[in-house]
Amino acid sequence: MKRRTTSSTTEILDLLKASGNAMSHDMIQSSLDSKVDRATIYRVLNRFCEDGKVHRVVGDDGKQYFAICSNCGAKKQVHSHNHIHFRCLQCGTVECLDRELSIPLPEGYVAKVHNLVISGFCNECS
């Protein structure tokens, strides 16, 4: 399945690049200039994840957030981004912290996805 570039894909990718933070579907939808269907946004984002262009974090609010991390751009093929995200309970911003931490697992355990989110108040809101 070859990928095609459409106005939706470029707009969404540009938006994520410009933002720098992790964005939820509804953040993306309301930030887009043109009207793009909900389902399309989800499909675009899922494709980006498959292609390693973007990674997904699930917040403690149960919602998915999508981000292009500047510092993990180099190693795109690594599915398991083991850095931490911070979600502000006040302003809703979800940012990547540049903390790379290696967590030793018990014998016989294999890690596939790291979902590490700390929620609280960012420096703007605390």
Partner DNA sequence: AATTTTACTGCGACACAGTTGCAATATTAC
Partner DNA sequence: GTAATATTGCAACTGTGTCGCAGTAAAATT
Stretch that binds its own copies, among 4-12, 23-31, 32-40, 61-69 (CB under 8 A): 61-69
Nearer to DNA, 34 or 126 (CB): 34
Number of neighbours of residue 19 by Cβ within 10 angstroms: 18
Task: By CB under 7 A, name the binding residues for DNA.
Answer: 1-9, 24-26, 35-40, 42-44, 46-47, 58, 62-64
* Among residues 8, 61, 92, 93, the one that binds its own copies under rule CB under 8 A: 61
Sign of CA dihedral 84, 75, 72, 67: negative
Q: 């180099």: which residue's tokens?
A: 74
Instruction: CB nearer to its own copies: give 35 or 112.
Output: 112
Taking alpha carbons only, the member of 50, 51, 48 closest to residue 28 is: 48
Query: Which CB sits closer to its own copies, 78 or 97?
Result: 97
**In this structure, what DSSP letter does residue 17 have?**
H
